[in-house]
A and B are shown apart, each in its own frame.
Chain A
């Protein structure tokens, strides 16, 4: 008797398992491989949150898509292992790649081998200069942001004697190179330049040397903590020059550790500033982000949100294989919340930058200048 039930039951179970497996295999999968631990965990967490928000909204709207999150920490090996694991089993439509450029560089050959697009917000210039068609960058790189940065200093503030203080990391060196070139092209010769290690706590020495060169503006290209330390210590020593910083200064987490008064005459370049508002869509995004993660969104979160939404739009349009996804991303424009994204032929999707400034009374900056389609033939 048991046998007569067991055979059909086993057959039904097998069919269910097969059907479930087939359904799972057909559901487009998007691994999110980002650094949520280590020195880039602040930016990596923003990246993760932006991607997760876009995917959760799609799942809530009954889109067939699945995702998983893996921490890539800080080493290329961990990132490569995470990508190999993620690509092994399921149908992967695209991979959200880490903001850390050295990890992205190590992952590019895998993207090519598995024919899966990597969508990222990493700013490392080389990523889109290697002729790899599988990379799509949704955050404006230095070639865009540093043009906006320097042009704002010279054209809007009328300052021509910048002191450039940059981080000694790859991020800092790359930004410094672009700033130097753009400032010179604008006729503003930097009067002082120095690289700062991320472990430096006391900024007094560099401020003393920079001020001895009589600059008329301090131009920063530093990570979050170094930016905050420099702004605080400059103001403490009575240095009231305008400070135009890199994108770290737009991050709500950076502004949160400074007094509002210390932020007077402090500006920053960035891809966007969600908390500054500007459109109903942005305000809805900011409110939803706060509700979901209990923190303030920054430009990195918004860029990754937009990037993931563009991937989802491609899926909706039938681009379910890696090759179809690559071709779709390379050939379509997408109206995101931060800007309109379109490839320049090398995978650079973001070409706009904004300058935000603090008024010394609030920690929420205002967008004061927008630079669109920088370096892009229109």
Chain B
């Protein structure tokens, strides 16, 4: 297995991580608070895909819109329960409430689905393709394409629509946005819905190739947090780059060194960035850190 093979794997893994990190950043920007339940929403999306596949035996690609819509509804519920009642409290209150909600989600998934690992249906077909000597899982290719489309779609929504401008205005300064007549509450709720939909999509994408258990959310949130810190707190593009970097350490660096060394190097890089460039590799949109 050569470098190219590892790079392809890193790209597929990074694309899925990017969806998790983007959802994290959206809420961070809209509320100035960290949503620590984002990883558990990924697990919830994975299990939702598993459950839907039991009812509708269709490829994952056809389940994806349904998972996204249902997860958006879950996102609204998360907003109503873990954010809205605490919106005027310091961000640390939301930090705690989302940790609590994440634990409830984990245990709820455990109660509903059991603790065993599950696999969601593949997006378009299982198996592997050989492309120029590279063994590429069809699911990996599908993950890259779908994640890229979702990221482009999200960027278009945020930068090229009136709704996106309202969402960004809310994220930049809620008081000014409210003064301009933007329904801030609705924008925050919509952000939670979008973030949960992205988490659900990531869950569906990851749960086929890498399986899913109720406790996997913890892994995802740690990776999203690292990606966002590396890329730049609150930067959408930074989260994307950070997610790719995390995946690169997990695959390419881990192939050159030990996994433990690769993990140590990743955290070393994180510490170095915090010390030398606290705004992250791509600057910082807002000045607050939870």
Contacts and interface: CB of A to CB of B under 8 A. Distances in A.
Interface string A27-46: 00000000011110110110
A38 B259 contact: no
B34 interface: no
B251 interface: yes
Interface stretch (A78-86, A131-139, A145-153, A193-201): A193-201
B119 A257 contact: yes
A15 interface: no
Interface in B228-268: 247, 250-252, 254-255, 258-260, 262-263
Interface string B113-127: 011111100000010
B210 A37 contact: no
Given A37-B110, A200-B250, A204-B9, A254 B255 contact: no
Interface stretch (B75-83, B144-152, B212-220): B212-220
A43 to B, nearest CB: 8
A205 B107 contact: no
A41 B115 contact: yes
B13 interface: yes
Contact of B210 (A36, A38, A201): A201
Nearest to A259: B126
A196 B259 contact: yes
Contact of B259 (A195, A224, A236, A295): A195
Contacts of B135: 236-238
A170 interface: no
B95 interface: no
A376 interface: no
Nearest to B5: A204
Interface in A35-75: 36-39, 41-42, 44-45
Contacts of B219: 198-199
Given A36-B110, A208-B1, A225-B213, A202 B13 contact: yes
A41 B110 contact: yes
Interface string A244-260: 00000001011011010
Task: Give the top 3 A-B pairs by smallest Cβ distance, nearest first.
Answer: A253-B116, A205-B255, A41-B115
Interface of B: 1, 5-6, 9-10, 13, 106-107, 110, 114-119, 126, 128, 135, 137, 206, 210-211, 213-215, 219, 222, 247, 250-252, 254-255, 258-260, 262-263
Given A201-B210, A254-B117, 6 more contacts: A37-B106, A197-B263, A198-B219, A206-B254, A228-B211, A257-B117
